[in-house]
Amino acid sequence: MKYEMIVFDWDGTILDSAGAIVRAIQAACRDLGVVVPSDRQASHVIGLGLLDAMRHAVPDLAPEKHREMADRYRFHYLSGDHELTLFNGIREMLERLQSAGHILTVATGKSRLGLDRALAYSGLAPLFQASRCADECHSKPHPQMLEELMAEFAVVPGATLMIGDTSHDLLMARNAGVDSLAVTYGAHTHDHLLEFQPLACLHTVPELDQWLARCA
């Protein structure tokens, strides 16, 4: 076993939620009467902590409006998050990795409340041994989430693998000295992800599962 611990991003990697996040950001902008970002602009901030995401998605928004924007985003996203689904094959892949003895963890831009809610709805909580969220740590791409998870389980960077669908995930891995895998079925494009030199860019969950079975 090369990677003792495998760290997963959540939105766009495990949960098929990227489209819902984009729509919630755009709806929040309409609520506040500000310029609505394009799908591409809104999807680029997926993976960041919520306030950081709002600052990047709506750069002209007055700082005193950031929290109101975040509140409106939460309203729109949480109104439908219970309807979101896992990517096909994710549960079976995680079960196989757990059975093989890997430590499975999550590093996400979600809040603790948001992740706990998602874990409960998805039924995946028993498969993950620990997690870190953006309201507990610095937002990605700061390496704090990975550093804390490695410290918790006494796992060295060389035995840790980060898997995510955004450049924020890959930069966090690089900043922590950790290998990374990119998946292209989430928020960011294949060409953009390649710029950050992941071990591989995988286009489907079955491709990811096969890579992990062969190389992890």
Q: What would the pLDDT profile of 72-105 be if each residue is shown by its tens digit?
A: 988 998 887 777 889 999 999 999 999 999 999 9
Query: Is residue 46 within 8 Å of residue 186, measured between CB atoms?
Result: yes
Number of domains in the chain: 2
CATH code for position 203: 3.40.50.1000
For residues 12 and 68, membership in a common domain is answered with no
Position 52 scores a pLDDT of 82
- DSSP structural state of residue 65: G
For residues 169 and 128, membership in a common domain is answered with yes
For residues 130 and 166, membership in a common domain is answered with yes
Domain that holds residue 69: 18-82
Position 216 scores a pLDDT of 86
The CA distance from 61 to 103, in Å, is: 41
Per-chain mean pLDDT for the chain: 92
* Single residue among 33, 65, 82 that ends a domain in this structure: 82
Q: Has residue 144 got a pLDDT over 80?
A: yes
Mean pLDDT of 153-175: 97
For residues 208 and 190, membership in a common domain is answered with yes
* Alpha-carbon separation of residue 132 from 7, 46, 124, 157 (angstroms): 10, 16, 15, 17
* Highest mean pLDDT pick, 6-15, 19-28, 31-40: 6-15
For residues 65 and 170, membership in a common domain is answered with no
Query: Is residue 170 within 8 Å of residue 180, measured between CB atoms?
Result: yes
Show the tokens assigned to 135: 């309201």
For residues 74 and 138, membership in a common domain is answered with no
For residues 92 and 130, membership in a common domain is answered with yes
* Single residue among 67, 82, 97 that ends a domain in this structure: 82
* Single residue among 82, 110, 130 that ends a domain in this structure: 82
The CA distance from 144 to 134, in Å, is: 10
User: Model's pTM, two decimal places?
Assistant: 0.87
